[in-house]
A and B are shown apart, each in its own frame.
Chain A
Amino acid sequence: MMHVTVDQVGVEERARKLSTRSIKTSSKREGIKLIISMIDLTTLEGKDSPGKIRAMCQKAIRPLPGNADVPSVAAVCVYPNLIREAKRCLAGTNIKIASVATGFPSGQYPLDIKLADVRDAVTMGADEIDMVIDRGAFLAGKYRKVADEIAKVKEACGPAHLKVILETAELETFDNIRKASWIAMESGADFIKTSTGKLKEAATLPITLVMLEALRDYWYETGKVIGMKPAGGIRTSKDALRYLVLVKETVGDTWLTPDLFRFGASTLTNDLLMQLAKEMTGNYQAAEYFTID
């Protein structure tokens, strides 16, 4: 089913309809907790420092200090140079360390550099590698090259999980997104991921829907279960809950777990906490009451 086409109007309409699901009271509370447990808490900036990583890891472990009912996030996502610091901070927890690699975010580097990048990251302690595909090759129709690269990166990952970033905004069409998803899955991706977060346009509901449908079809065809990670641009609880609806109604309960669905986000957490606190106490609290790490 690799070559099944996607109708843009139809997929946008379906995503719009699903986003009108009314999520209230207990479903909102449970949904937000589930989302927190699915977050890849991310910082990918040139100015990232060990200090910043320490603060973020603390937030990852205990998003709402003093409330053990709120789960830890799934992973932290950092540049390779900061893996060691993250590793130290997260020792003894179940939180995974994800690192971007393969010449993130452009992917415009020679293959041996990309592979070395991956091997280094794994050696330094990354549990998960977020790679970028070569969009230039993809758009030039060199699908074999894209596939081979992913396969080699997967090999270099060893035990680490591989998330393949398609950078959907650069692929532009839903047909391309589906095709790239399929290539990634066939070449060894454990997860497919929408975006680097470095472009203005990142994850959207229709794009995520197309990718979920692709991984569902791949499962229909092969029995292999692939995970999904929308990343970038998801900032509010309301948005995140809509993604959860998409998962629930497209691929079902099997995927409603951090093992198979992640949110790549840096600023989403505090809105989730704010909404959760509101659900628990009945009142909204000012932003100052939530730590900004």
Chain B
Amino acid sequence: MSHSLGTCVVPMNAGVTMKRNGNGKTATARHLEIVEPRQLYFGEKWQYAPSPEKKDHVKLKKHYDLFIDGKFVPGKSGKTFPTINPATEETLAEIAYAEAADVDRAVTAARRAYDKVWRKMPGSERAKYVFRIARMIQEKARELAVLESMDGGKPIRESRDCDIPLAAAHFFYYAGWADKLDYAFPGRKARSIGVAGQVIPWNFPLLMAAWKIAPALASGNTVVLKPAETTPLTALHLAEIIQEADLPPGVVNIVTGDGTAGAAIVNHPNVDKIAFTGSTEVGKMIQRAIAGTNKRLTLELGGKSANIIFEDAPMDQAIEGIIDGIYFNQGHVCCAGSRLFVQESIAEIVERKLWDRMQNLRVGDPLDKNTDVGAINSKMQLNKICELVDAGVREGATKHQIECALPKKGYWFRPTFFTKVAQSHRIAQEEIFGPVLSVLTFRTPEEALERANNSPYGLAAGVWTDKGSKIFKIANRMRAGVIWANTYNQFDPSSPFGGYKESGFGREGGVHGLASYVELY
């Protein structure tokens, strides 16, 4: 192939402002001069008008109580805490603050419901309730999506197209298992465990509630669930759905609060199983706390997942996979593809394409239907991201951050990636949980494997190559719970999810997820 390189002049419409590469200088040019490396220009020739999702249909209350024994009740101490919109810093509602006494009430109600009603109910009857919840989530999908975006800062496009439909899908999926437990584990019988104490994170509030509640209910357990402190609203609206669905009182209890309530659940003697999704640090504390008790435990913890791009990958789709892997939900994803391993032979072109692609990430109002990256969930999280990014710069990695306007109020972080990252840098080791990617290079498949596995975590991985045999080779030797081939961040209720090493143990989703909520004999 012969290519005429060298300077080439491209006719442009007059008056279009061209941004030159890197140096930040802009020039109004009749002609686009080619500077190396060439860069595309994504400007304002044709802009999207604001397209905000309406929120007047959301029945947002000023005050929310705890959901215990089928009723909404205030916390015993009467204390409340505010939940705020991270995109505006406005208080959305006051939430009842649960302490040990409230958790005790909730566990007692769950125990009673388990012994008197739920464990004895035929699976086919339990299924009806779970199906009903699934359908009601679908009916209220719009309201829940808006609420999720307001409370957590995630783009409405994601809450509308991903969080809420998947939450409903989980209830549908596990509802189907409720009367088929005898066939779920061939040759063995499954029996429910009892009261499940569940503590969930703030990154996918309703979806995580669905992941936890749906399999527990389907297999005959009752539940005490604590949503995250910064994002309690959709779980409380789920409580309203559960009440409307006429679930027997006490089968699902939802207590809102902070680590105090979480610890009370973990330490309560009447709880038979703990399911936790959150940080590795808290996961370790929980495991220590319940050592020597009869409680079962599943932990879904942090990650620093590797996204491996080989030179024979479908490149433009791989770029999308990188974007989806790290900028989806502002990077607040435990399985985020936060370590990018690129084969050295294509590293330059991948970085260039990634950079050009990132110019089209629209950062801002989570309720705008065209927003790609929303608000960082909390001030605390934003501080943590900033700290690690600063560490990356200090340790000598090269920072690439897009220049986009940000709203004046709220918590924001511009999508960023680092190159010249060494395995020993903090940004290659620690979970950032934000829109920040570390790019590393490798030369051979063996090296990719070795370096990708060189992490205390092992939640997920992505492999990008057109060669099937290479996919299997890598997948078989990656120490990660989920491995995506030529895609990333795909979720389905029938597919198990969970980690190796410090990313936790136990699986959620699929028949594997059911196994965590039953005793087999």
User: Which residues of A approach B to under 8 Å, CB–CB?
Assistant: 1-2, 4-7, 9-11, 13-14, 20-28, 30-31, 34, 186, 213, 216, 219-225, 244, 248-249, 251-254, 256-257, 259
* Cα separation A88 to B277 with both chains bound (whole Å): 73
- Asked whether any CB of chain A lies closer than 8 Å to the CB of B142, the reply is no
Contact B8 A253 (CB under 8 A): no
* Cα separation A27 to B49 with both chains bound (whole Å): 5
Q: With a CB–CB cut-off of 8 A, which chain A residues contact B37?
A: 220
Contact B3 A222 (CB under 8 A): yes
* Cα separation A222 to B5 with both chains bound (whole Å): 5
Contact B34 A256 (CB under 8 A): no
Q: With a CB–CB cut-off of 8 A, which chain B residues contact A221?
A: 3
A249-B360, A254-B32 known; A224+B40 contact, CB < 8 A? no
Contact B486 A253 (CB under 8 A): no
Chain B 456-496, CB-CB to A under 8 Å as 1, else 0, gives 00000000001000000000000000000011000000000
* Cα separation A209 to B462 with both chains bound (whole Å): 23
A11, A220, A223, A248: residue with the most chain B Cβ atoms closer than 10 Å? A223
A27-B47, A216-B40, A259-B11 known; A10+B161 contact, CB < 8 A? no
Closest Cβ of chain B to A29, distance in Å, is: 9
Contact B49 A25 (CB under 8 A): yes
- Asked whether any CB of chain A lies closer than 8 Å to the CB of B352, the reply is yes
Closest Cβ of chain B to A15, distance in Å, is: 11
Report B1-41 residues with CB < 8 Å from chain A CB.
Answer: 1, 3-8, 10-13, 16, 32, 34, 37-38, 40-41
Q: With a CB–CB cut-off of 8 A, which chain A residues contact B1?
A: 2, 186
- Asked whether any CB of chain A lies closer than 8 Å to the CB of B370, the reply is yes
Q: Give the A-B contact count at a CB cut-off of 8 A.
A: 116
- Asked whether any CB of chain A lies closer than 8 Å to the CB of B244, the reply is no
Contact B316 A254 (CB under 8 A): no
Contact B46 A248 (CB under 8 A): yes
Report B276-321 residues with CB < 8 Å from chain A CB.
Answer: 312-317, 320-321
Interface of A: prevailing SS: helix
Contact B5 A223 (CB under 8 A): yes
- Asked whether any CB of chain A lies closer than 8 Å to the CB of B349, the reply is yes
29 contacts between A and B (CB under 8 A): A1-B349, A4-B316, A5-B313, A5-B466, A10-B316, A10-B487, A11-B314, A14-B316, A20-B157, A21-B370, A23-B49, A27-B47, A27-B48, A28-B49, A30-B47, A31-B46, A219-B38, A220-B349, A221-B3, A223-B7, A223-B10, A248-B42, A248-B46, A249-B42, A252-B43, A253-B45, A254-B32, A254-B40, A259-B11
Contact A9 B486 (CB under 8 A): yes
- Asked whether any CB of chain A lies closer than 8 Å to the CB of B454, the reply is no
Q: How large is the interface on B (under 10, 10 to 19, 20 to 34, 35 or more residues)?
A: 35 or more
Q: With a CB–CB cut-off of 8 A, which chain B residues contact A248?
A: 42, 45-46, 360
User: Which residues of B approach A to under 8 Å, CB–CB?
Assistant: 1, 3-8, 10-13, 16, 32, 34, 37-38, 40-49, 51, 157, 161, 312-317, 320-321, 349, 352, 356, 359-360, 369-370, 466, 486-487
Given contacts A4-B316, A254-B40, 20 further A-B contacts (CB under 8 A): A6-B316, A14-B317, A14-B320, A20-B161, A21-B369, A26-B49, A30-B46, A220-B349, A222-B3, A222-B8, A223-B4, A223-B10, A248-B45, A248-B46, A249-B42, A249-B360, A252-B42, A252-B43, A252-B356, A254-B16
* Cα separation A223 to B8 with both chains bound (whole Å): 6
* Cα separation A191 to B129 with both chains bound (whole Å): 59
In the complex formed, the residue of B with least CB distance to A248 is B46
Closest Cβ of chain B to A55, distance in Å, is: 31
Q: CB < 8 Å: which of B8, B42, B44, B46 contacts A34?
A: B46
Q: CB < 8 Å: which of A13, A21, A34 contacts B48?
A: A21
A223-B38, A252-B40, A254-B41 known; A22+B3 contact, CB < 8 A? no
* Cα separation A28 to B50 with both chains bound (whole Å): 11
In the complex formed, the residue of A with least CB distance to B360 is A249
In the complex formed, the residue of B with least CB distance to A258 is B13
Q: CB < 8 Å: which of B34, B46, B48, B51 contacts A223?
A: B34
Q: With a CB–CB cut-off of 8 A, which chain B residues contact A6?
A: 314, 316-317
* Cα separation A15 to B314 with both chains bound (whole Å): 15
* Cα separation A92 to B328 with both chains bound (whole Å): 52
* Cα separation A225 to B51 with both chains bound (whole Å): 33
B46, B47, B352, B487: residue with the most chain A Cβ atoms closer than 10 Å? B46
* Cα separation A252 to B13 with both chains bound (whole Å): 13
Q: CB < 8 Å: which of A22, A224, A252, A256 contacts B370?
A: A22
A27-B47, A34-B46, A256-B45 known; A251+B316 contact, CB < 8 A? no
